Chain A
Amino acid sequence: MLFVRPGRLADLDALQQMARTAQPVLHSLPHDRHALEARLALSEDSFRAQADFPGEEFYLFVLEDSATGKLLGTASIVAAAGYSEPFYVFRNDALIHASRELHVNRKIHALTMSHELTGKSRLAGFYIEPGLRGDAAAHLLSRARMMYIAANRKRFTSEIFSLLLGVTDEAGVSPFWEAVGRKFFGRNFADIEVQSGGRSNTFIAEVMPSYPIYVPLLPEAAQRVLGEPDEHALLAYEIHLDEGFETDRYVDIFDAGPVLTAQVERIASVRCNETRTVQTAGELLEAVTPPGAVGASGGATYMVANNSRGDFRCVLAELPVGRTAGLTAELAAGLGVGPTERPAARPAAGLAAGSSTPPPADSRAALPLDLQAELLAARIAFAPLDAATRAALDVREGDTVRCVVLHPDSGPLSAEDAS
Chain B
Amino acid sequence: MIVVRVVQTGDVDALVALAQETGPGLTSFKPDRAALAARIGRTCRTLEDRAAPHEQGYFFVMEDTGSGDIAGVCGIETAVGLDQPFYNYRVSTVVHASQQLGIWTLMRALNISHDLTGYAEVCSLFLSPRYRTHGVGGLLSRSRFLFIAQFRERFPQRICAEMRGHFDAEGTSPFWRAVGSHFYQIDFNAADYLSSHGRKSFLAELMPRFPVYVELLPEQAQECVGLTHADTLPARKMLEAEGLRYENHVDIFDAGPVLECHIADLRTVRESVVVPLEIVAPDARRDDARDVPRSLVSNTSLDDFRCGAVAGRVEQGVFRLSADEAAALRVKAGDPVRVMTPKHKQGTS
Contact = CB atoms under 8 A, between A and B. Distances in A.
Q: Which residue of A108, A179, A207 has the most chain B CB atoms within 10 A of its CB atom? A: A207
Interface stretch (B97-105, B248-256, B297-305): B97-105
A101 B201 contact: yes
A419 B207 CA distance: 56
A189 to B, nearest CB: 13
Contacts of B215: 183
Contacts of B103: 185-187, 207
A212 interface: yes
B314 to A, nearest CB: 54
A48 interface: no
A213 B213 contact: yes
B178 A217 contact: yes
A184 interface: yes
A95 B96 contact: no
A104 B109 CA distance: 26
B315 to A, nearest CB: 59
Nearest to B219: A219
B133 interface: no
Contacts of A213: 213, 216
Nearest to B217: A217
Contact of B183 (A97, A185, A201): A97
A217 B179 contact: yes
Contact of A97 (B186, B205, B211): B205
B209 A106 contact: no
A203 B98 contact: yes
B105 A186 contact: yes
Contact of A195 (B94, B101, B178, B207): B101
B205 A203 contact: no
Nearest to A101: B202
Contacts of B202: 99, 101-102, 104
B135 to A, nearest CB: 43
B205 to A, nearest CB: 4
B98 A212 contact: no
A244 interface: no
Nearest to B218: A219
A216 interface: yes
Contact of A212 (B105, B178, B210): B210
A214 B98 CA distance: 24
Contacts of B178: 217
B185 interface: yes
A201 B101 CA distance: 11
A106 B183 CA distance: 8
A218 interface: yes
B179 A211 contact: no
Given A97-B183, A102-B186, A185 B101 contact: yes
B182 A214 contact: yes
A97 B206 contact: yes
Interface in B195-245: 199, 201-202, 205-213, 215-218
B107 interface: yes
A184 B101 contact: no
Contacts of B86: none
A179 B216 contact: yes
Interface in A164-181: 179-180
A195 B218 CA distance: 28
A110 interface: yes
B56 to A, nearest CB: 27
Most buried by A among B101, B107, B212, B213: B101
Contacts of A332: none
Contacts of A110: 210
Nearest to B204: A99
A341 interface: no
A98 interface: yes
B101 A211 contact: no
Given A208-B96, A211-B213, A183 B107 contact: yes
Interface string B44-77: 0000000000000000000000000000000000
B210 A211 contact: yes
B167 interface: no
A217 B212 contact: yes
Contact of B107 (A184, A216, A217, A219): A184
Given A99-B205, A104-B184, A218 B97 contact: no
A207 B183 contact: no
Contact of A217 (B94, B109, B182, B205): B182
A209 B96 CA distance: 8
A362 interface: no
Nearest to A212: B210
Given A185-B103, A203-B98, A218 B210 contact: no
A214 B208 contact: yes
Given A102-B185, A104-B206, A106-B185, A214 B201 contact: no
A258 B127 CA distance: 57
B195 to A, nearest CB: 12
A95 B207 CA distance: 11
Contacts of B100: 201, 203, 206
Contacts of B94: 210-211
Contacts of B183: 97, 106, 108
Contact of A104 (B186, B201, B216): B186
Contacts of B199: 101
Contacts of A184: 96, 105, 107
Interface string B105-133: 10101000000000000000000000000
A389 to B, nearest CB: 50
Interface of B: 94, 96-98, 100-101, 103, 105, 107, 109, 178-179, 182-186, 194, 199, 201-202, 205-213, 215-218
28 contacts: A97-B207, A98-B205, A99-B205, A100-B205, A104-B185, A104-B186, A106-B182, A106-B183, A106-B185, A106-B206, A110-B210, A180-B216, A184-B105, A186-B105, A187-B101, A187-B103, A192-B101, A195-B101, A206-B97, A206-B100, A207-B103, A209-B107, A210-B94, A211-B109, A213-B216, A217-B178, A217-B179, A218-B216
The 5 closest A-B pairs by CB, nearest first: A216-B182, A99-B205, A206-B98, A99-B202, A183-B215
Given A179-B216, A206-B96, A206-B97, 9 more contacts: A98-B205, A99-B206, A104-B185, A195-B101, A203-B98, A206-B98, A207-B98, A211-B210, A216-B182
